[in-house]
């Protein structure tokens, strides 16, 4: 239904914002957060995430006006918010298309993007085809997204893959 189509990504975005602006991400710096759906609508709302500080061009081409008051009165500067966004990880579930992936790649480094399928809604084959044909990643970046980024944050995957 239409609600589910929109709400999954929006809920992901709300969670990201809540973790940052509530101070939870700061209180728990050792948690590895992995968000689905390429961060939901976060890459498209990047100006809103960063606007709660002084005016600045934090990401090339994204100039914020600096409203100076964030969610719940939080006054977290844009660069600090961006630091959290760039520390989190994002999977490719339901997002293996050039629009979503290019937007995410503008916000975070490829090292923070991991493979995800959202099976059974989308198969691994569909996701693989989308990642390849999106042409957002070069071959080494695609290899990182498909495997090595996950192996870095979940080392047991690397050990297990060698024994199979």
pLDDT tier, 64 (very low <50, low <70, confident <90, very high otherwise): low
Mean pLDDT of 130-155: 95
Task: Indicate the pairing of strand 34-35 with strand 89-91.
Answer: parallel
Q: What is the pLDDT of residue 72?
A: 52
Maximum average pLDDT range among 116-120, 145-149, 159-163: 145-149
Indicate if the pLDDT at residue 118 is higher than 50: yes
Look at residue 79 in the predicted model and tell me its pLDDT.
Answer: 85
Whole-model pTM: value is 0.85
- Give me the pLDDT at residue 87, please: 97
pLDDT mean over 77-95: 92
Which parts of 6-164 are beta strand (E)? 34-35, 56-59, 62-64, 89-91, 113-114
Q: What is the percent of the chain with per-residue pLDDT over 90, rounded to a whole number? A: 55
Residue 108 is classified by DSSP as S
- Of the pLDDT bands very low, low, confident and very high (cuts 50, 70, 90), residue 61 is low
What does the alpha-carbon distance between residue 52 and residue 49 come to, in Å, rounded to a whole number? Answer: 7
Contacting residues for 126 by C-beta, under 8 A, at least 6 apart: 96, 117
Confidence bin at 15 (pLDDT 50/70/90): very high
- The more confident residue out of 160 and 121 is 121
Nearest to 25 by CA among 65, 74, 64: 74
Average pLDDT of 24-53?
90
**How is residue 76 written in tokens?**
């977290």
What is the predicted pLDDT for the residue at 69? 47
The CATH H-level (homologous superfamily) assignment of domain 2-163 is Metal-dependent hydrolases (3.20.20.140)
Provide the residue ranges of all domains of the chain, joining segments of one domain with +. 2-163
């Amino acid at each position: 239904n239409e609600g589910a189509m929109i709400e999954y990504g929006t809920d992901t975005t709300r969670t990201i914002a809540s973790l940052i602006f509530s101070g939870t991400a700061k209180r728990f710096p050792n948690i590895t957060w992995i968000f689905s759906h390429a961060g939901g609508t976060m890459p498209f709302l990047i100006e809103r995430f960063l606007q709660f500080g002084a005016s600045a061009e934090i990401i090339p081409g994204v100039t914020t006006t600096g409203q100076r008051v964030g969610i719940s009165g939080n006054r977290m500067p844009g660069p600090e918010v961006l630091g959290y966004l760039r520390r989190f990880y994002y999977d490719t579930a339901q997002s293996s298309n050039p629009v979503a992936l290019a937007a995410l790649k503008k916000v975070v480094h490829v090292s923070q993007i991991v493979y995800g399928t959202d099976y059974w809604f989308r198969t691994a084959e569909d996701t693989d085809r989308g990642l390849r044909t999106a042409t957002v990643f070069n071959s080494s970046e695609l290899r990182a997204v498909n495997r090595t980024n996950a192996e870095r944050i979940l080392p047991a995957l690397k050990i297990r893959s060698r024994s199979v």
